[in-house]
C-alpha cells in the first residue's frame, strides 16, 4: 500500500492569533485535498484559534515544539498532555535545526520528546539534516544516521511506523537554496535504509519521510515524485497562498 503524502507547514515565529485565523481562512479552500495529509504547525499562542478555525476541514494542527515533562516548574515550556492534546494538536515538530542550533537541543533531548509524544498519541515530525560543512566533508549520512538512531532510541517498531522524519539540509533552510532532487532522494533513501537496519523492512516501508528546505510550488512536484520522499515540511511558502499549490502538487 502506497504511503500517503504528508505536507506540513512550519510557521516558525510568525503570525499573531488574529493573523493566523485569517491565514487559515485564506488557505482552507486552497489546501482541500483528501489525497494528502495537510498539517499546519503553528506557534503555541496560535494553536487554540487555529484548531477552532480549521474545524470541519482536512487541516490538522501541529505544534512547533513541546517539553518532555508533563507538568511542573518549567517556565515557558509546553506540556504534551495538559496543553497540546487538550487543545486538539495531532502532530509536533521536534529537533528542528533552529531548536538544535539556537537552544542547544541534543539528540538525547529530542529522543525524550519523541517518547513523550508517542505516550500521549501525538505524531512526532522529527527533523534531521546536515550543515554545508558536513556535506562538503562527506559525513552527511553518518551525521543523519546518528540523529535518527538516537532520536528513535526506545521507540517501538509499531510507533516508528506512524512517525514522520523530515530531512532538512541546514544549508537549504531559508536560504532559497534547495538540494537537487537527486540529493534529497539519496538522503531520504538513506534514512529509510537506516530505519530498516534499526527495525525491519516493513517499518522502513511504512514510515513517512519528508523533504524540507525552501520547498516551493515549483520544486514540489519533482521532489514529491521520488520513491522515498513522502511530502514536505514547508517553511516560508506555508505562509502564502502558494502553499495550496504545494499541497495540490500534481
Question: What's the pLDDT at 193?
Answer: 98
Question: What's the pLDDT at 179?
Answer: 85
Question: What's the pLDDT at 176?
Answer: 76
**Among 64, 96, 98, 105, the one annotated catalytic:** 96
Specify whether 168 is catalytic. Answer: yes
Instruction: Enumerate residue ranges in the chain where pLDDT < 50.
Output: none
> Can you give the chain as a three-state secondary structure string?
CCCCEEEEEECCCCCCHHHHHHHHHHHHHHHCCCCEEEEEEECHHHHHHHHHHHCCCCEEEEECCCCCCCCCCCCCCCCHHHHHHHHCCCEEEECCHHHHHHHCCCHHHHHHHHHHHHHCCCEEEEEECCCHHHHHHCCHHHHHHHHHHHHCCCCCHHHHHHCEEEECCHHHCCCCCCCCHHHHHHHHHHHHHHHHHHCCHHHHHHCEEEEECCCCCCCHHHHHCCCCCCEEEECHHHHCCHHHHHHCCC
* Verdict on whether the full-model pTM lies above 0.95: yes
d(CA 215, CA 211): 8
Question: What's the pLDDT at 134?
Answer: 94
Question: What's the pLDDT at 174?
Answer: 76
Domains in the chain, ordered, with CATH? 5-247 (3.20.20.70)
Specify whether 96 is catalytic. Answer: yes
For residue 49, is it left (φ>0), alpha (ψ between -120 and 50) or beta?
alpha
Question: What's the pLDDT at 2?
Answer: 87
**Among 64, 105, 130, 168, the one annotated catalytic:** 168
Q: pLDDT tens, 23-54? A: 999 999 999 999 999 999 999 999 999 999 99
Contact status, residue 117 vs residue 162, Cβ threshold 8 Å: no
What percent of the chain clears pLDDT 70, i.e. is strictly above it? 100
Contact status, residue 15 vs residue 241, Cβ threshold 8 Å: no
Greatest alpha-carbon pair distance for the chain in Å reads: 48
Question: What's the pLDDT at 1?
Answer: 61
Q: Are strands 59-63 and 5-10 parallel, antiparallel or unpaired?
A: unpaired
Amino acid at each position: 500500500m502506497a504511503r500517503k503524502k504528508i505536507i506540513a507547514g512550519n510557521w516558525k515565529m510568525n503570525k499573531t492569533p488574529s493573523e493566523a485565523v485569517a491565514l487559515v481562512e485564506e488557505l482552507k479552500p486552497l489546501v482541500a485535498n483528501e489525497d494528502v495529509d495537510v498539517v499546519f504547525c503553528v506557534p503555541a499562542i496560535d494553536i487554540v484559534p487555529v484548531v477552532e478555525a480549521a474545524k470541519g476541514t482536512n487541516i490538522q494542527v501541529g505544534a512547533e515544539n513541546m517539553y518532555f515533562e508533563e507538568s511542573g516548574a518549567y517556565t515557558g515550556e509546553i506540556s504534551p498532555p495538559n496543553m497540546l492534546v487538550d487543545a486538539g494538536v495531532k502532530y509536533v515538530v521536534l529537533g528542528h535545526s533552529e531548536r538544535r542550533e539556537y537552544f542547544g537541543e541534543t539528540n538525547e533531548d529530542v529522543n525524550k520528546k519523541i517518547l513523550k509524544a508517542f505516550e500521549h498519541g501525538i505524531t512526532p515530525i522529527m527533523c534531521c539534516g546536515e550543515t554545508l560543512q558536513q556535506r562538503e566533508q562527506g559525513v552527511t549520512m553518518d551525521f543523519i544516521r546518528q540523529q535518527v538512531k538516537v532520536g528513535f532510541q526506545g521507540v517501538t517498531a509499531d510507533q516508528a511506523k506512524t512517525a514522520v522524519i523530515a530531512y532538512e539540509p541546514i544549508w537549504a533552510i531559508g536560504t532559497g537554496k534547495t538540494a537537487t532532487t537527486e540529493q534529497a532522494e539519496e538522503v531520504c533513501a538513506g534514512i529509510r535504509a537506516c530505519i530498516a537496519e534499526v527495525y525491519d523492512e516493513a517499518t522502513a516501508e511504512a514510515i513517512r519521510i519528508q523533504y524540507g528546505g525552501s520547498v516551493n510550488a515549483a520544486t514540489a512536484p519533482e521532489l514529491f515524485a521520488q520513491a522515498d520522499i513522502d511530502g514536505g515540511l514547508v517553511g516560508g511558502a506555508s505562509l502564502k497562498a502558494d502553499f495550496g499549490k504545494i499541497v495540490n502538487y500534481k
